[in-house]
Amino acid sequence: MAWTRARRRWAWALVPVLAVLAVAVPLVVARRLEPTPAGTPVNVRLEDFKLRRDVPVVPAGTVVLHVLNEGPTTHEVSVIRTDRAPDKLPLRRDGLTINEDAPGMDFINEAEGLDIGDRRTLALHLPAGNYVLYCNMDGHYLGGMHASLTVR
Amino acid sequence: MPRSPSAEVGATSATQRPAAGGRSGIGRLVPRLPILGDLRLDRRFGWVIPVFIVLVAAIVGYNARATSQERGSALVVNIAARQRALVERHTKDVLLVVDGFQADPEGSGTALHQEANALLDGGTVIAPQGNDSFVKIPAARDWKIRRKLEQNRRLIDELTSTGDRLLKGGRRDPQYTAKVTRLRVLTAQLSSVSNDAVGEITKHTEASLSRLVRIEIALGLLGALAALAMGLLLRRAGAEQAAQFRSLVNNSSDLITVLAPDGTIAYQSPSVERMLGRRSDDLVGTALTDLVHPDDQHQVTVSLTKLVEAPGATANFACRLQHEDGSWRHVESICTNLADDPRVHGLVLNIRDVTEQAALRQSIGDLLHNLARRSQGLVDRQLELIDELERDEVDPDRLDELFRMDHLATRMRRNVENLIVLSGVEQRRRWSESVPLRDVVEAAVAEVEEYSRVQVGGIHDLTLSGQAASDVAHLVAELVENATSFSSPTTRVEVSGGPAGNGYVLEIEDHGIGMSDAELAEANNRLAAPLAADIAVSRMMGFHVVGRLAARHGIRVQLRHCWFGGVAALVLLPPALLGSAGERPAMAPPVPAGVMASPEPLLLAETTESGWQQRAHLPPPRHAAPAPSRGGDTDAAAEAGDPVE
């Protein structure tokens, strides 16, 4: 059947729509199907200038930190194993940031540069012990961005 | 016998060429775009041109807006970066004052507040370069930047209030150390937040710039595509028009020729192959006059030369062009000088083949000529018979009547000769040797009915070429007869002569009723450019005949008003026709029929030194009544035996 002019016009208009769908749909599906690391999940919320985690105590093994920065400024989250109280960590000479090289401080891992709204997943293999989560940007720790995490 | 074509250079034409034809579609919307010229735009341009205009407008508009925005963004980055320095200065000022030094924490705190507010909501701040000038910065619009700047402002509020409390409590305050620590922590946090905001603003600016570049590239590409599409469509439309024009030109029966200023053919329409059997490419670069009949070349050259000197003027001329097979085609040309038009830069000739019309005119002319020749033979025989009767007659009354018959027959012969002249055939009466000019003038006068009113005087002793003698006599006779016919019978007509810078002038003056300026101009036009024999000729036949005779020999004839009334006809004989009196004049030419020797004294003419006998005895003037008005009823004048003007 011969196509009318109007039909041909609609057909040409559909071409870009189909092209966009062909690219977007696989990307979304692929993102949804990203494998989540196995382990004990801990949701960590960062904000000016607080650090909150939903679970204070987790079993030893793989712990997966799901970090979300609620802003408004950029933050980071560091994990250190120490028996010191979270608000008594040693500071560097600047008096503003944690001295991670001090005795009794065992740096585990960190997630840096989380802008507002950013999510990051940090999978850690943590043996039993006391840990502190904190933001080590200038003044953030002293502003209150720290929390303890106990692994049993 | 080929007739000499007429050439006429028309008056300068101020007629404008017709405007381009009707337009359709977008052509009506953009009727005067010079870039589009006379292109007839079709509907395809209905979308291309608006799209092109919108794209260009979008590119320009987006550029202007983006440039303005980026300038503001650069300022914002600078001001935000300055916040960090201001925070540190404020903290230092507070600590200095607490320690008893001179500082201005209040001023730095105020500056911090002002800039924090301006960064968030827009406003005027001190320019980055200082020097007490101010700049206006726009409000932050990006939500991330706004969140960070809000946090920045909140921390500044807390910093200044902490500083105020520290200043208020001083060192003695028990919470002094905690407050100082808080002040330092806030300073560090502000530094971090400021850096963060500056980073976000910079990132946003970079993203905007990248987006701007991408959009400009996209718009530029779209613009280029639109320009390409428009160019292709314009080219296609131009090609279609060119094809249409080419088809019209190729299939036209007329030739379109463009002559370069040097007379060579710059363009020749292909229809020349149909008309002249020649390829247009072969003619380009050759001279047009190479194709023109040798007899016509002078007139064509004169016409074109005059035209070249008058940009914008038009001229008409007729000539013969040679066909590839050697035959001659009669053509008429309308020529326009478009030398000032940069697209043409030459003379445009529209040439029409009129060979068939010319053949028709030729056959009519031949018919006219044959009839006139027969009549001429009969009149000649009649004159011979009258001549014999006059010789034998002794009765004065009878002789007088015979003279009158003789004179009427002479006039009939001249009328017949007029027809022969108008038919384009040259007179057979020619002499190989020159004859005295005075004799020619007197012979002419002798042919006029009212010869007795004519006074000849002041003719110099010059000779006239024998080839032209008969035609000049005919020419002068026509003018003299015209003068006598259109002036009162009681007045005299004077014929005189005098040398001029470029020849010799014969002047025929009458004391008649004269002519209006319009009549004089028309008559002079006919004298300067006689038309081919057609219906219009019958109106001023005498002037046409004079004009044709003059054109044969390069003689110029002009009428003008006399200051005392009447009309003077000036006949300028070119030097080529003249000789000095020392030359041996021709022996007596054949006595014109009706002219005979007489023993009686001659009233006007006599047997001259050259032996050219004039009319020996002429009857008295017939007309006693007042002369008819010039330009009157020609039929009535003809019936009365008067020359038809």
Q: How far apart are CA A106 and CA A89, in angstroms?
A: 12
Is A96 close to B185, i.e. CB distance below 8 A?
yes
Gap between the Cα atoms of B252 and B258, Å rounded: 16
* Residues on chain A touching B179 (C-beta within 8 angstroms): none
- Cα torsion A85, A86, A88, A90: sign: positive
Q: How far is A2 from chain B (nearest CA, A)?
A: 24
**What ranges do the domains of chain A cover?**
1-34, 40-151
Whether A73 sits inside 8 A of B199 (CB atoms) is no
What is the value of pTM for the model shown? 0.49
Q: Clarify whether residues B94 and B57 are in a common domain.
A: yes
- Is a pLDDT exceeding 50 seen at residue B221? yes
pLDDT of residue B342: 83
Q: Cα B440–B442–B447 angle (5° rounding)?
A: 100
Whether B465 and B553 map to the same domain: the answer is: yes
Q: Which residues of B touch A115 (CB under 8 A)?
A: 144, 200
Return the structure tokens found at A100: 């991670």
Q: pLDDT-based confidence at A135, cuts 50/70/90?
A: very high
* Average pLDDT along chain B: 78
Residue A144 contacts B, CB cutoff 8 Å: no
Q: Which two tokens stand for residue B205?
A: 């600016």
CB neighbour burial string for B259-282, b if at least 16 within 10 angstroms, e if fewer: bbeebbbbbbbbbbbebbebebee
| Interface contact A145, partner B, CB < 8 A | no
* Residues B207 and B258 grouped into a single domain: no
| B645 vs A84: CA distance, rounded Å | 140
Could you tell me if B201 and B100 lie in one domain? yes
Contact between chains at A96 and B144 (C-beta distance less than 8 A): no
Instruction: Note whether B188 contacts A96, CB cutoff 8 Å.
Output: yes
**Quick one: B202 and B263 in the same domain?**
no
A113 touches B at CB < 8 Å: no
> Token pair for residue B396?
């004065």
Which range marks the domain in which residue B75 is found? Answer: 45-232
Query: Mind listing the pLDDT tens digit for each residue in B230-241?
Result: 788 888 888 888
More confident call, B592 vs B234: B234
| Distance set, CA B478 to CA B441, B484, B540, B550 (Å) | 11, 10, 12, 12
Asked if residue B590 has pLDDT above 50, the reply is no
State pLDDT tens for residues B437-462: 988 998 888 888 888 899 998 888 88
Of B327, B353, B379, the domain-final residue: B353
Q: Is B202 on the interface with A (CB under 8 A)?
A: no
Contact between chains at B196 and A74 (C-beta distance less than 8 A): yes
Mutate to test the interface with A, among B189, B200, B201 (most CBs of A within 10 A): B189
Interface predicted TM-score (ipTM):
0.79
Tokens of B344: 């043409």
B252-274 pLDDT per residue, tens: 778 889 998 888 899 888 888 88
Shared-domain flag, residues B151 and B269: no
Q: Please tell me the distance from the alpha carbon of residue B296 to that of residue B312, in angstroms, as a whole number.
A: 24
Supply the CATH number for residue B440's domain. Answer: 3.30.565.10
Residue B45 banded pLDDT, cuts 50, 70, 90: low
Q: Does A96 touch chain B (CB under 8 A)?
A: yes
Task: Count CB pairs under 8 A between chains A and B.
Answer: 53
pLDDT digits (tens, 9 = 90+) for B538-563: 667 788 888 888 888 889 999 998 88
The model's pLDDT over B286-329, given as tens digits with 9 standing for 90+, comes to 998 889 999 888 888 888 888 888 888 888 888 999 999 999 99
Domain assignment present for residue B188? The answer is yes
B309 lies in the same domain as B216? no
Domain count of the fold of chain B = 3
Which residues of chain A are within 8 Å of residue B186 when distances are taken between CB atoms?
139
pLDDT at site B629? 34
How far, in Å, CA of B514 to CA of B483, rounded? Answer: 10
Indicate whether B446 and B321 sit together in one domain: no
Residue-wise pLDDT tens digits, B559-577: 998 887 889 999 999 988 8
CATH of domain A40-151: 2.60.40.420
Per residue in B363-411, pLDDT (tens digit) is 887 888 888 888 888 988 998 898 888 888 888 888 888 888 888 888 8
Strands (E), B301-418: 314-322, 328-338, 346-353
Between A45 and B635, whose confidence is greater? A45
Say if residues A138 and A45 touch (Cβ distance below 8 Å): no
For residues B109 and B160, state if they share a domain. yes
For residues B429 and B30, the model is more confident at B429
Residue B385 belongs to some domain of the structure: no
> Of B323, B338, B353, at which residue does a domain stop?
B353
Regarding predicted confidence, which is higher, A11 or A46?
A46
Q: Which of B95, B150, B196 should one mutate to test binding to chain A, selecting the residue with the greatest count of A CBs within 10 A?
A: B196
Is the pLDDT at B624 greater than 50? The verdict is: no
Residue B573 CA, distance from chain mean position: 36
Count CA atoms closer than 13 A to B612's CA, side-chain side: 26
> What's residue A54's pLDDT?
95
Between residues 150 and 189 of chain B, which touch chain A (CB distance below 8 Å)? 150-151, 181, 184-189
Contact A115 B200 (CB under 8 A): yes
Residue B496 lies in a domain: yes
Measured CA to CA in angstroms, residue B458 lies from B31, B83, B479, B498, B603 at distances of: 71, 118, 18, 7, 17
- The answer to whether the Cβ–Cβ distance between B192 and A49 falls below 8 Å is no
Q: What is the CATH number of the domain that holds B187?
A: 1.20.120
Do B208 and B275 sit in the same domain of this protein? Answer: no
The span from the CA of B557 to the CA of B377, in Å, is 30
Same domain, B462 and B343: no
The tokens describing B632, both together, are 């009157």
Q: Tokens 């280029």, residue?
A: B224
Query: Do the chains contact at B144 and A138, CB–CB below 8 Å?
Result: no
Lowest-confidence segment of B32-36, B93-97, B473-477 by average pLDDT: B32-36
**Residue B266: which CATH number?**
3.30.450.20
